[in-house]
Chain A
Amino acid sequence: MSDREKKKAPLQYSLFDGLFQGRQGVLLGLFTLFLIFLAIFPFLSFASGFWLNTLTLILLLAAMAIGWNFIGGYTGYAAFGNVAFFGFGAYGTGLSMTKLGLSFFPSLLIGALAAMLFAIVMGLPILRLKGHYFAIATVAIATAMGEIADSWTSFTGGAAGITLPFFDPIEWSGQFFYYMSLLLAVGGLLLTWFILNRKMGYSWIAIREDEDAANMMGINTTWAKVMAFALSALMAGLAGGIYAYWKTFVLAEEVFKIEYTLQMILAAVLGGTGTIFGPFIGAFIYYILITLLVFFLPVGQLHATILGTIIILVMVFTPKGLMDFISGRKKISINSLLENIRTYRV
């Protein structure tokens, strides 16, 4: 899917050239305003617990989507098992807190590092696979990890799960987890930007465009791919750890469910893979759609059907994600939509 269309588009990270100048400057300015809005959100009068809860879920999803973007968007490997890292982070944090009696932050670090280490160990063999084979291998690993967590009762608590202590004081738990998630998502954006201006970022894109050519040019593709995989694991692992402590509960069927992988891919694809802000914006769009459908529009139990229809339409008309239009690479018009369809032979 990647060889067409690329030449036309300027490289995405040029978004930061000439900070706050021209169109991209306006975009960045607006985005900064939005981040400021998010930063002061809990202090606004209408910020009820419900909205704090919803935004926390969105930000965690955004962080995971940003992580998925490293391997799926920039490096071009269809990773369908990132929930394994989420689960690793959740179990790592949960077990460190309950079995080792550590406090939250060191536990979170242990969980995230465990996820990263696992990604490196698993990535070395399976990143030699390509296309569908890689996708299948990642799904298999995620499923297997879920089964192991579910059956290894003596270590993981098995089907009874792990119960974590509550955040103390409980009245402030909403704010605490909100800011943790915001920090993680914004940290993910900065990490993306940082890497894209380094050799690592160029290597990822080179691998996506033509891995053999990249190899011949002297790029250590194995190292670059494994790093992309490990960094996406880091993001998912941190999100999993925060999630576990927030929900005070870790259960295999909850933290290893494939929906999380699908959600992070969906968020990245909706927003635009291979862009800095795409996954972040995609997570917001996806979740706000759900929230509107479930809570505020009188569609009854049809909400899932309508959501599915909207996603299909977005995919048909803007397969490269909404960042294409936002960043001005394309204009929204009937022609550009039809061109999308022709280009991707939908």
Chain B
Amino acid sequence: MSKRVLVLLVVLLVAAMALAACGGSQATPAPSGGEEQSTSGTTEEQASTEEACKVVFGAAVSLTGKYAKEGEYVKNGYELYVEEINKQDGIPVGDKKCMVELKIYDDESNADRSAQLVEKLITEDHVTFLLGPYGSGNTFATTAIAEKYKVPMVEANGAATKIFNRGFKYSFAVLSPAPNYLRGIIDMALDKDPNLKTVAIVIENGAFALEVAQGAKDYAEEKGLEVVYFDKYAKAAKDVSSLITAMKSKNPDIVLGAGHLQDTILVMKQSKDLGLSPKVFGFSVGPTSPEFRKALGKDADYVVGAAQWTPELKYKSDDIFGTPQHFTELYKAKYGEIPPYQAAESAAALIAYQKAIEAAGSLDKDKVRDALAALDYDSFYGKLKFNEQGMNVYKPMAVMQNYTDGGLYTVWPKEAAVKEFLYPFKPWDER
């Protein structure tokens, strides 16, 4: 019997012990679970008065699960910035410099886990500031935690406006919000041919795509275009031919797709089968990815896609990266590939922090929050400036086109364009 009682004790007290042991370390000054950070005995508020000054940025990023790839880009972006800034002895705070540290956990592409981890970063690890996860869903969940504890979070990978419609004071996004995604394509098309009259929009039934589509519809109407078709297909749809047939009967000048890579490829394939040939084919996500060209081959020619950022943009800045080209060089040297925009926007989130910390001259959370709200800075990633809700509505969306030579080039905005926008789309029956 005593044996059984022992077994029970073990099982029941596993919980209590795990909680007490792990939670207990919070009471001691050294942050728990921080492998790299063992010496600091200061709280973040007083950090600047001690000799070893340190800024710790915490983030939950998807390293496993369905967003594992994108999550890796995000982590790379964060890490590249930290490596570069620490080469210059860190971020200037007042009259001294503070080394930068990152604390990243894997949220498994799961919003619950993401929120749990951010709560851990705040209440157990005592990070100074928060960075965002990947994706609108996880960002939605984590910004609420940041708000609860009044810790600023600059996120770079959640474009849905619903994140910012809740009156939050501590959340900021460096990327252009979802409704702006297709504006660049509409502007570019009208710039090329002011006689374009009609637009058809197909939408994936998802939170992000719905916002993209609504934003595109509003903007197109504002520009005097007529939206002749506006309908959605199911997430992970395998067949959209009924929508394409319906669009074809309207004979639109521009076809816009709001969705993600896989359904964008599907729309293109079935448009070819059914002979839908508008003058412009533009999508929110997909055409800027190498997978798009791989899946479609020559059929990818002429198709344009929106991009938050491209390595070819001609921004100039006095931040540590200077230009998109220099960022690309550094990224390539470290990771061996052309940086995807997720990496660039993630690094830009840290630049927003750096500039806000410099302006505030302090690591105080509320002072830095106020400095972020007032930020207006031209970075290698583009303009960093937030509206009242915390969204960066000031940065334009770039457009990339799949060229007939098999390359992928920035064609908009005009001043940053590498090549001329190829217009119009060559009809399927003439290929």
Does residue A301 face the partner (Cβ distance < 8 Å to B)? yes
Across-interface contacts of B64 in A (CB, < 8 A):
301, 304
Residue of B nearest to A322 (CB): B11
Chain A contact surface mostly:
helix
B26 engages A46 (CB within 8 Å): yes
Across-interface contacts of A247 in B (CB, < 8 A):
111-112, 115, 141, 144
B148 engages A173 (CB within 8 Å): yes
Across-interface contacts of B115 in A (CB, < 8 A):
53, 247
Task: Tally B residues with Cβ within 8 Å of A.
Answer: 55
**Minimal beta-carbon separation of B56 from chain A (angstroms):** 16
**Please, how many angstroms separate the alpha-carbon atoms of A325 and B4 in the complex?**
7
**Please, how many angstroms separate the alpha-carbon atoms of A30 and B8 in the complex?**
9
Across-interface contacts of B141 in A (CB, < 8 A):
247, 249
Residue of B nearest to A151 (CB): B205
- With A34-B15, A48-B124, A150-B235 already in contact, the answer to whether A301 and B4 are too (CB < 8 A) is no
Across-interface contacts of A248 in B (CB, < 8 A):
144, 166
B11 engages A285 (CB within 8 Å): yes
Interface residues of B in 188-221 (CB under 8 A from A): 205-207, 209-211
- With A47-B23, A163-B162, A284-B15 already in contact, the answer to whether A27 and B8 are too (CB < 8 A) is yes
**Please, how many angstroms separate the alpha-carbon atoms of A163 and B160 in the complex?**
13
Partner of A23 from B4, B19, B108, B210 at Cβ < 8 Å? B4
Does residue A190 face the partner (Cβ distance < 8 Å to B)? no
Partner of B165 from A50, A163, A281 at Cβ < 8 Å? A163
Does residue B334 face the partner (Cβ distance < 8 Å to A)? no
Does residue B333 face the partner (Cβ distance < 8 Å to A)? no
**Minimal beta-carbon separation of B345 from chain A (angstroms):** 23
**Please, how many angstroms separate the alpha-carbon atoms of A283 and B9 in the complex?**
17
Bitwise interface map of B from 348 to 392 toward A, beta carbon under 8 Å scored 1, else 0: 000000000000000000000000000000000000000000000
Across-interface contacts of B3 in A (CB, < 8 A):
331-332
- With A304-B108, A322-B11 already in contact, the answer to whether A151 and B234 are too (CB < 8 A) is yes
**Please, how many angstroms separate the alpha-carbon atoms of A159 and B178 in the complex?**
15
Across-interface contacts of A23 in B (CB, < 8 A):
1, 4-5
B106 engages A301 (CB within 8 Å): yes
Bitwise interface map of A from 131 to 170 toward B, beta carbon under 8 Å scored 1, else 0: 0000000000000000000110000001111010010001
Interface residues of B in 291-322 (CB under 8 A from A): none
**Minimal beta-carbon separation of A53 from chain B (angstroms):** 5
Partner of A46 from B5, B24, B113 at Cβ < 8 Å? B24
A288 engages B24 (CB within 8 Å): no
Does residue A197 face the partner (Cβ distance < 8 Å to B)? no
Chain B contact surface mostly:
helix
A50 engages B119 (CB within 8 Å): yes
A328 engages B4 (CB within 8 Å): yes
A46 engages B147 (CB within 8 Å): no
A159 engages B122 (CB within 8 Å): no
B16 engages A34 (CB within 8 Å): yes
Across-interface contacts of A53 in B (CB, < 8 A):
115-116, 119
**Minimal beta-carbon separation of B109 from chain A (angstroms):** 11
B120 engages A159 (CB within 8 Å): no
Does residue B63 face the partner (Cβ distance < 8 Å to A)? yes
**Minimal beta-carbon separation of A278 from chain B (angstroms):** 11
Does residue A344 face the partner (Cβ distance < 8 Å to B)? no
Q: A49-B119, A53-B115 are in contact. List 10 more A-B contacts (CB 8 A).
A: A30-B8, A48-B123, A166-B144, A166-B166, A170-B148, A249-B141, A285-B14, A288-B14, A304-B64, A325-B4
Where the two chains meet, the residues of A that have a C-beta atom closer than 8 Å to any C-beta of B are 23, 26-27, 30-31, 34, 37, 41, 44-51, 53-55, 57, 150-151, 158-161, 163, 166, 170-171, 173-174, 247-249, 251, 254, 281, 284-285, 288, 291-292, 294-296, 301, 304, 322, 325-328, 331-332
28 contacts between A and B (CB under 8 A): A26-B8, A47-B23, A48-B119, A49-B122, A50-B23, A50-B116, A51-B19, A54-B116, A57-B116, A150-B205, A158-B205, A159-B205, A159-B206, A160-B211, A163-B162, A166-B144, A173-B148, A249-B141, A284-B14, A288-B15, A292-B18, A294-B105, A295-B22, A295-B105, A295-B120, A301-B63, A326-B7, A328-B1
